Structure 1
Amino acid sequence: MEHAARSHPRVEACVVVAPARESRARHLVAFVAGDVSADEVSAHLRERLPGYMVPADVRILEALPLTGNGKVDRLALTEQARRTAGQTGPDDPDDTPRGPLEALVAAVCAEVLERPEVGVQDDFFLLGGDSLTGTRFAARLGSLLDVPLSVRDIFDLPTCAQLAKGLATDPEHGPRVVAFAETVARMATEDEGDEGDKEDDAAEAGEELGAG
C-alpha cells in the first residue's frame, strides 16, 4: 500500500498504520506528505489495489513525524489515528437516510464499523470495512431482517443506499423488509425520550410482523 501511494508523482512519503478499535478490529489509515489531496491519493490507490486494501482514511500532512534517529515515528502516527478514528459523521445532506430502511441499514453499518454514524452514500469499504467486517455486516443485517445476505452482496452494493434499495426491490422479501423498517421507526418515535433499547424495538417489531 505504501509503495502504491508513493508511486503517485506528488506523494513524497507515505505511512499506513492499522490502529485497533475497542473490539480489536483494525482499520487502515494512510498518512501522506506531499502536494496532493486525500481524494487524489484514494483514487490513485483504487486504480492499483483491491478495494479492501485501500485505506478508508487518508490524511495529508506537511511532513511525517520523525523519531530522534530520523526515522518515521510510526507509533506517533498510530496513536494519532487511534485518537481521531470514527469521530466524524456524514456532513453531506445527501448522505442522510431517506426513509426508515436506509436508516436501519445505516445504523447496523455504523454499529459494525464502530462509528457514531455513517452516510448512506459512503462506500462500506472506504469507511474501513473489509471482507471480515463485510461478513459481519451481512450476517447482522440478514439476521435482523430475516433475509439471506452474504458478503458478496456487500461488495456488489457497498453503500447503505444501494443495499437498502436492493432489499426494498427484492420481489420475495422487499415488502416485508420495508414494513419491518417502518415498524421499527414508528416504535422508535413512540419511545422517543425513553431509555428504551433499540434491539428490543426491533425484536418487538419482528414479533408484530410475524403475528400479522
Structure 2
Amino acid sequence: VNAQPVLSEGDGPLGIVLAPTRELAVQIHEECVRFGHPCGVRTACIYGGVPKQPQVEELRKAPEIVVATPGRICDMLNKRKTELSRCTYFVIDEADRMLDLGFEPQLRDILKTARADRQTLMFSATWPAEVQALAASFFRRGGAITIEVGGALADAGKANTSISQRVLMCTEKEKMTSLVELLEEIMDGSKILIFASSKRRCDELTRELRVDGWPALA
C-alpha cells in the first residue's frame, strides 16, 4: 500500500474489504487500524443503519483502506461519494454468508467499478457450488490460487467425521441452564470453545459464565 502513489483528497481507496454484516465490518476495521496505524495506513468503516454524512466525510479524506458492507458501499459508489479506480486490493470476507444474505448482485456491481488488474481475495468457511461459481466469475481463468485450511476442498462444507455432534432442543430461557449442565458433564480440565451468534452475545455469555464460576474469556 505504501509503495503506491499517495492518494489525494477525494480519491478512492487502494484496498477495499467487504463484510456481510456491520458487526464484522467493525471488527475488521479495528484490526486494520491496529496494524495500519504504525505504517501510516488510514482506514474507514462504511456500513448501513447509521447516518451517511459522517461516512462521506471519512471517504473524502482518502483513506487507503475501506472496510464496508455491500449495500452501503454500493450506495456511496452510485452517489459518487467514492470510486474504485485506484483499488488494487479487493477482499471479500465470509463469501458464503454474503450469498446467504442475498448480496451477490451488490458484489457484482461493486466489482464492475474496480480496476481490472486488481488482486482479489475471497474467504469462505464453506465451499458450496454457489460460492465456487461466484469465485469462478471473479477470477481470471488460470489466475486463481486456492488455499485450503483443515481439509480437502472436495470435503469443504462437510462435517468433520472426528467430531461427535449432538443437538439439544431447548427454549431461549433454557439455553444457559442447558449450557452449564453440558459443561459440567464434559469438562475435564481441557479447554472448550463456545460459539455465539454475535460479539455482543459472546460478551454476555462470558459474563454469565463468570458469575457461575466458570473461567470464561470472550
Which of the two has greater helix per residue?
1
Q: Which has the higher contact order (CA 8 A, sep 6+)?
A: 2
TM-score (norm 1): 0.22
Bigger CA radius of gyration: 2
TM-score (norm 2): 0.21
